[in-house]
Structure 1
Amino acid sequence: MKKILIVSDGAIGQHFIERVIGTYTTENLYYVVQTGDKKFEGYNPARYKFFQFDPTSFYKISNLLKMDFWQVVLVMENQNDLDHTIKNIRTYKPSLRIIALDLWNTLSPSDDIEWVNIQELVAANMIDYLPNIPVLAKNIGLGSGEIMEVLVPFGSSFVYRHIGSIEQKNWKIAAIYRNRSLIIPSDNKMIQPNDTLVLVGDPAVLRSIYRAIKRELGQFPAPFGSKIYLFIDMHIEKASAIMALVRRSVFIQKKLRQPLIIKVINPGDIDALRMIKASAGPNVTIDIDYSPHPDDSVILNDIKHYHIGLFLVSHKAFSIKSLRKKMYAGNVPVLKLADRSFSSIRESVVILSEEGHIENISTTIFDVSSQFGFNLELIDYTSEEGTHKQEVIAHFNNLSAIFSKSIRVITQETNPIRELCDRENFLHVLPFTSKMFVNPVSAYFSTDPEVLYRSLGHYHQLFIPTQI
């Protein structure tokens, strides 16, 4: 993570800091020095550190410069203060990269300072208002971020995916640029490494898509969220089952290295509560709801409040349709824990279907398997003819090469669920779709492996939403 120092003393600097807070990257850590007491909202305290002092004081700024900054950005409206601040920085760190705003057009070019001339910036923006001149994307439409250009890195979750396999709700891939050529998107076009995508859609959605495109392995439960959440209803669970859930959740938390929230509702067993509190280690928060009748919206509220990225729940709780619907509406991965050891799992298993949902969640499958150290198996059930599954297998083989993780593809004509039921333990991974609500009687006559998920209900199952 790069440390950036920003020194500001006026209205332009304040506006610049507001724009920085609104950016999408999580790769930078900002240290902001201001001469006045100005308040900002909506920033992440873990990424922004604010200081108030005079940067022309060598003693004060040198204390801050003891840290290893990648660059300094100076947005100052007093030329004398700017000169003294640059002198102080150069005295302490002669080679530190400096980017400074030039409001006066009188400053001499320098090899060690990158000057941003305000007059050139204004002229460059004013030309967009002339007729018959191409308009840049930043001035098209509302100018609020509804048009975005993103470079697809080599290890991205979007690499080697067909456009048709990417669910585009409230956003669209408008164009692809490859080797300085324009490619018009279609369902059968495949995204390649180093492609540049032009995205159009809701700005908030595009920010999520941007993070998804830039994501590589080892980030799960991102981009869905940043915390793990265990849901326990003491009206449903027995004390022995509760402690097994807590032990498995703590094991998962250590593997994923993310904070764990243990939510308890209907707390009627004092001994179980004591055991939960005793087993909670570092980075574990216990949230007990003592309401006699908990609100039905508690799950959705907590997903938003805690920024949940992985929802843990027992098999018994997941079997309750109303709870399952709340989890589905939360749009986060749900790991349904069975009455089996989780630490002894060695394989994650995916059964392919013709729906195409598997390709949507393919990178998450690789990420989960990689972080837990599971072998990955794809089972191709060939009872029905179809070409899409061959494209999915090719996609997984491409990802296998990218992430240097081998996969095993098993092709069989018999229903794989019957054979999987004979296994001792594994993690069943499947997309979290509306198929999870098909009537069990109707599901009995189905051959769709996603509809038949209940047949493997006594194993651990991970349900992954198809849209971020």
Structure 2
Amino acid sequence: MKNVLVILDGHIAKHLMKRMIDLNNNFNQYDIIYTDDFILEDNLPSNFTFYKFDPTSYSKLSFVLSKVVYQDALVVLSTKEDTIAVIENIRRNYKDLNFNVYDKWNIQLDDTNIQYYRGNDVLSNGLMELLPNIPVFAQNIGLKQGEIMEVKVPFGSTYAYRYIGSIAQKDWKIAALYRNQQLLKVKASLIIKPNDIMIIIGKPKVLMQVYNAMSKTIAQFPMPFGQNLYLYIDMYIQSDEEILRVLKDALILHKRIKNSSLVVKITRHSNVTMINKITTHLKGIKKVIINMDYHNKGMRNILKEDKYKCDIGMIILTKSLMANKTILKDILKLKIPIFKIGNENISSLKSSLILLNDDKIYEQISPILFDISSQLKITPKVFDIDPMGDSKREDLISHLNNLGKIFNQKIVVVSERANPIKRLDEEQNILQILPIKETMLKKRYIKFLTTDSDLLSFDSNKFNQILIPVIDDLN
């Protein structure tokens, strides 16, 4: 949370205060210095602290300035003399603080760390845009309601260290990305890093949701893939026992993973007794939506339609449905993570685990290891296991350790010279996180000849797994 100093008076201050309260998202701690009670609103947020005194008095202002370390400041005053006096007071305590000043007098100070909001210029520019054949500034494009937004990616954001191609962009789009004062070409293989500045465009309400998700740190998965968990039930293929078990598992995930809703899609429903059992089991549980397919559309068409309609963030599938590789290829194209139900009990999970393989692939999915671990309250574990001892993964291990610090989680790294699959099989009560790639879905006639740990893990049904869509070709 940033500490922000705001110094206000005058009629503009009244409107500014109302706007600040309307858009308050509790990401900042505001210290407000004011001189007249008329700027105050009836309902004041808890993250606003108010001080009533004349800010031109350094002895009074220095008390507030020394209270905390401020990361930003905003000065909006009604006279030029007061504005300059307050700037000088701030500079006595903060020599290099970057802050913003409302200026309608064209103040000229030798201070490169002050950004002036020239009121007269802004007003004249707005009036000029009413005339024909005049260029329109970005802030006033369209409905003038915020269709274009600038977002800075903070450390710990679930969008950090993600490839742009792996992010579902429904009703919004990443239009530009700036890094180290340079504009980078936006492409699917570009990885987003902390402190990147992105220009995003789309529906204003959607942009606010994206901003909120991007600005927060942990506990965001299944975002940015989507908001909801999605349980697919095919009563023709799945047994009654399998359905009841996966229903129980889905409810555990719904309770422990941050999501808006659990959508239960029931297809090819011929067993009325089983349908009654499902509805009874789900009765009274908040944010559970039962969705029936009455038209026998087929799994491919249903998922394609429901991806956006139901805002699917992760689809939950059992072993019998995972056997359909054609459908899995369709899910891969839709870029939806899959929760693959294993033989172990979800309620007994103690660790999340990734078995390192391709560095670039596992760099993409590494933030999810920490995000899901924090939500399920389990320990993140990394296996760096090579039977020949030839692998060099120091950079990837360092990257994972840095992420662990950002997410404030202690990571367990196991480095051994052993058969990775045999060593993995010794584990119990783990949630394995691995990529889902096209090569994993191809028919393999002689499975034991492969040495790819991702393929061998995918073939195993012992552990519960989260399969994350990734970008194979980063060129």
Same fold (TM over 0.5): yes
CA contact (8 A) 1:417 1:456 kept: no
Counterpart amino acid of 1:370? S
After superposition, the Cα gap between the structure-2 partners of 1:325 and 1:237, relative to the gap in structure 1 and judged at 3 Å, is same
Shift of 1:343: 0.2
Question: 1:333-372 maps to which residues of 2 (within 5 A)?
Answer: 333-372=337-376
Shift of 1:379: 0.8
Shift of 1:282: 2.2
Deviations 1:384-439 (A, max 9, x none): 7444x321111110111122211111112322212322434321111222233132
Residue 262 of structure 2: aligned partner: 260
After superposition, the Cα gap between the structure-2 partners of 1:321 and 1:191, relative to the gap in structure 1 and judged at 3 Å, is closer
After superposition, the Cα gap between the structure-2 partners of 1:437 and 1:69, relative to the gap in structure 1 and judged at 3 Å, is same
Residue 426 of structure 1: aligned partner: 430
CA contact (8 A) 1:421 1:456 kept: no
The CA RMSD measured in Å over matched residues stands at 4.6
Counterpart amino acid of 2:281? S
CA contact (8 A) 2:373 2:380 kept: yes
Shift of 1:227: 1.2
Residue 316 of structure 1: aligned partner: 320
After superposition, the Cα gap between the structure-2 partners of 1:168 and 1:268, relative to the gap in structure 1 and judged at 3 Å, is closer
Could you tell me which of 175, 179, 192 is aligned with 1:176?
A: 179
After superposition, the Cα gap between the structure-2 partners of 1:225 and 1:442, relative to the gap in structure 1 and judged at 3 Å, is same
CA distance in 1, matches of 2:439, 2:420: 18
Deviations 1:85-127 (A, max 9, x none): xxxxxxxxxxxxxx9xxxxxxx99999xx89987522545799
Residue 332 of structure 2: aligned partner: 328
After superposition, the Cα gap between the structure-2 partners of 1:26 and 1:167, relative to the gap in structure 1 and judged at 3 Å, is farther
Shift of 1:263: 0.6
> Aligned pair count?
359
Question: 1:29-428 maps to which residues of 2 (within 5 A)?
Answer: 120-121=121-122, 123=124, 149-157=150-158, 161=161, 166=163, 175-177=178-180, 195=195, 197-199=196-198, 213-258=214-259, 259-280=261-282, 281-292=285-296, 294=298, 296-382=300-386, 383=388, 385-387=390-392, 389-428=393-432
- Calculate the TM-score normalised by the size of structure 2: 0.62
CA contact (8 A) 1:234 1:264 kept: yes
CA contact (8 A) 1:354 1:386 kept: no
Shift of 1:318: 1.3
- Calculate the TM-score normalised by the size of structure 1: 0.63
Q: Give the secondary structure class of the aligned counterpart of 1:418.
A: helix
Residue 439 of structure 2: aligned partner: 435
After superposition, the Cα gap between the structure-2 partners of 1:380 and 1:27, relative to the gap in structure 1 and judged at 3 Å, is same
Counterpart amino acid of 2:219? G
CA contact (8 A) 1:147 1:199 kept: no
Unaligned regions of 5+ residues in structure 2, if any? 2-18, 27-39, 49-73, 84-101, 105-116, 130-135, 167-172
Q: Give the secondary structure class of the aligned counterpart of 1:356.
A: helix
Shift of 1:340: 2.9
- Which moved further from structure 2: 428-437 or 311-320? 428-437
After superposition, the Cα gap between the structure-2 partners of 1:192 and 1:454, relative to the gap in structure 1 and judged at 3 Å, is closer
Identity percentage over the alignment?
24
CA distance in 1, matches of 2:178, 2:44: 42
After superposition, the Cα gap between the structure-2 partners of 1:284 and 1:199, relative to the gap in structure 1 and judged at 3 Å, is closer
CA contact (8 A) 1:146 1:200 kept: no
Unaligned regions of 5+ residues in structure 1, if any? 2-16, 18-24, 29-61, 72-98, 100-106, 129-134
- Which moved further from structure 2: 434-443 or 340-349? 434-443
After superposition, the Cα gap between the structure-2 partners of 1:190 and 1:458, relative to the gap in structure 1 and judged at 3 Å, is closer
CA distance in 1, matches of 2:127, 2:152: 27
CA contact (8 A) 2:147 2:201 kept: yes
CA distance in 2, matches of 1:148, 1:68: 25
CA distance in 2, matches of 1:385, 1:210: 43
